[in-house]
A and B are shown apart, each in its own frame.
Chain A
Amino acid sequence: MSQSTEAAALSSLSVPFRPGGVADGSASLAMSEDIARATQPQIENSVLEARDFCLWYGEKQALKNISMEVPEKQITAFIGPSGCGKSTLLRSINRLNDLVPSVRVDGDILFEGESVFGAEVDTNLLRKRVGMVFQKSNPFPKSIYENVAYGCRIQGISHRTELDEIVERSLRSSALWDEVKDRLDDVATGLSGGQQQRLCIARAIAVEPEVILFDEPCSALDPIATAKIEELMKELRHQYTQVIVTHNMQQASRISDFTAFLYLGELIEYGPTKSVFINPIRQQTEDYITGRFG
């Protein structure tokens, strides 16, 4: 609810720019070229692609004609004010929005060239390939070991030595191994907030996904824990395609290679992080980045 009220409050702000909303022919043509320039950067090896993707929660449209490509083995950040649809877009990639009953989609999202909404797509396999780390760290109320091993267990791996290896490798990659190696059988919920979040990352990478989605992974963490997660994301950059939703623009500028700015369900600007932050094409992006609204 708070999201929608925030969005309503934002829409009442006097923002002069309205993409595609101008009736005049020549102006709209110039405008659409402008949009294309702002939202379609050169991307090699795209892994994910949204095509005119729209999403509704009941009557309310949360995403409007999103078209973008996400590059392989890079970090892509989604930024924008609350309620702009960035988390919704992220959750559409691994179809976690299916859990919300009233969701309706139009357009398409492609993962390695295949629609994630296709009838033959198995969401279980999709979510194994597209891992996710949530805003609030949500380890299972089980042991640290079981948390990391769980993803492999549901895939049918139950051999102890194999699991031991996977657990150690995952915990090492998430820079948690040294902190927890002596207490793998302790309950995971006893870890600190930052450790829990790194455990969730370890849990996600244990099943060897191709893409990891981060939904505001640091919003509940202190600066030191945040720095550790960012460090970790940078280290994982060359192994996984990472997409991060963040409220923190400094974070986006620090760690991401590409940045997408969403506002009220629309993709306003998308491009290499440097150019988006230093030299934004659209006025709205500049206003947001400089802190004039949002």
Chain B
Amino acid sequence: MNSQPISPQAPSPTGPAQLGVDAVRARLRKRNAAARRFRLLCQAAVACSLGFLFLLLATLCLRGYQGFFQTLIEVDIFFDPQVLDPDGSGDAEVLASANYGSLIRSSLQEILPDTEGRRARRALGELVSLGAAYELQNRVAADPALVGTTQALSLVASDEVDLLIKGELSREVEESERRLSDLQIAWVDALDAQGRVRTRLSRYFFTSGDSREPEMAGVWGAVVGSAYTMLITLLLSFPLGVATAVYLEEFAGKNRWTDLIEININNLAAVPSIVYGLLGLALFLNVFGLPRSAPLVGGLVLTLMTLPIIIIASRAALRAVPPSIREAAYGLGASPMQALVHHILPLALPGMLTGTIIGMARALGETAPLLMIGMVAFIVDVPQGPLDPATVLPVQVYLWADSPERAFEAKTSAAILVLLTFLILMNTLAVALRKKAERRW
């Protein structure tokens, strides 16, 4: 500060040259230029992050969209009673254990050339997925009257054929280096020429669980597992987190204990997530004996991880409620609980929701703690409840990325797209909820 009192008189126009209008104007140009540069820099930062985001999404979409589709081969299958039920017993067990792959091979044999001999027959069988035989079996189990009839069916092609049709498999490679022989490629081309090859949105990808066969593998099991896990996390962490925040902000006095609690909560928010997984393994699995790989345990572990985030966000939201509102409520004779429930909580709710959604979004994308409690297992069945073994979307991505089959590459990207879709949906929901809660006031 200037120690001399500022003269109340207007400065004379012939004052110091430093503050003359021309000198100021000259500097003004530099100042404005600096402001423009700064603005440009900020815009460049935004453009840079947007560019990376676009790059990520574009790569994922380019690689992943094929994962949503699957190649089908249309064939007429004759449900040969000689193969399925030689004795004509009609027994369900006999039908279930019959050789359906043989039916498929026979049908293909009729429409394709050069299919004599055992080796050729085996090579023919490799054109369609192992799952196709199961599908035939399921059809017969559902309707035994099919035996003896001929049906036009679309069979799921094997992953290699799928890749070939999608153009992912190079034909130039030496025959010994590829998984499909020249003969098999010729067959696929012949089928294609007959118009029997179609590419469709994959039913399996959206409705089934994991599989060793890429063409049969789906994300539905992981989606359901994620849903159960998130549900449990939300049900536990939101009430616990909000109640803790309310207690610490509104009721607890300021003393050494609350200081200790506060420091610990802040520290917990920074603990690496795998540590929570180890804690879950030691506590929930070993001490409480809860089932391994279950969404219940996953939800509990993610609750531990999400709680600090929700508590910190909720406390900030409570602190942001203007004290005048509190005073107004108390001034009318409202009890602390009435002031809290009628005024403070509704005003803090948008902030609390934001914190919760951020925590949930982090939990949805979390892999490490779930590895520790066995949610990384290969699980084919779609979980029916929170106690069934399950996996979650990010773990599914991790599992597929780790698989040797090339066809899983597209599936991995597709699964990431599904995960991102859910994240975007959750964030949109959060924004909508917040807007709604804010508009009420």
Contacts and interface: CB of A to CB of B under 8 A. Distances in A.
A140 B328 contact: yes
A144 to B, nearest CB: 14
A118 B327 CA distance: 21
A101 interface: yes
A134 B441 contact: no
B335 interface: yes
A131 B325 contact: no
A208 to B, nearest CB: 11
A131 B328 CA distance: 10
B170 to A, nearest CB: 65
Given A124-B335, A187-B441, A140 B325 contact: yes
B332 A200 contact: no
Contacts of A96: 327, 330-331
Interface stretch (A49-57, A77-85, A150-158, A279-287): A150-158
B254 A204 contact: no
Given A99-B330, A154-B332, A141 B324 contact: no
B307 interface: no
Contacts of B385: none
A140 B343 CA distance: 8
Interface in A183-202: 187, 200
B195 interface: no
Interface in B307-332: 322-332
Nearest to B324: A138
Contacts of A127: 330-333
Contact of B326 (A99, A124, A132, A203): A99
B338 A154 contact: yes
Interface in B108-153: none
A37 interface: no
B305 to A, nearest CB: 33
A94 interface: yes
Contacts of B332: 127-128, 131, 150-151, 154, 203-204, 207
B324 A136 contact: yes
Contact of A154 (B322, B323, B334, B347): B334
A142 interface: yes
A134 B331 contact: yes
A134 B333 contact: no
A175 to B, nearest CB: 20
Contacts of B327: 96, 99, 132, 134, 138
B435 interface: no
B90 interface: no
B253 interface: yes
B333 A155 contact: yes
A135 to B, nearest CB: 9
Contacts of B171: none
B421 to A, nearest CB: 35
Contacts of B329: 140, 150
A101 B347 CA distance: 23
A206 B330 CA distance: 15
B333 A138 contact: no
A125 interface: yes
A111 to B, nearest CB: 14
Which among B326, B330, B332, B342 has the greatest number of chain A C-beta atoms within 10 A? B332
Contacts of B322: 138
A125 B331 CA distance: 10
Nearest to B335: A124
A215 B54 CA distance: 56
A199 to B, nearest CB: 11
A101 B335 contact: no
Contacts of A131: 331-332
Contact of B334 (A101, A124, A139): A124
Contacts of B253: 101
Interface in B275-316: none
A207 B328 CA distance: 13
Given A124-B335, A125-B333, A127-B333, A200 B347 contact: no
Nearest to A150: B332
Nearest to B253: A101
Contacts of B331: 94, 96, 127, 131-132, 134, 204
A204 B327 CA distance: 12
B330 A141 contact: no
Contacts of B441: 141-142, 187
Given A96-B330, A101-B254, A127-B330, A138 B325 contact: yes
Contact of B328 (A126, A128, A134, A155): A134
Contacts of A124: 333-335
Nearest to A142: B441
Interface string B346-380: 01000000000000000000000000000000000
A181 to B, nearest CB: 22
Q: Which 9 A-B pairs have the closest CB atoms?
A: A128-B333, A138-B324, A141-B441, A132-B331, A127-B333, A151-B332, A138-B328, A124-B333, A154-B334
9 contacts: A96-B327, A99-B330, A127-B332, A127-B333, A128-B333, A131-B331, A134-B331, A154-B334, A154-B338
Interface of A: 94, 96, 99, 101, 123-128, 131-132, 134, 136, 138-142, 150-151, 154-155, 187, 200, 203-204, 207
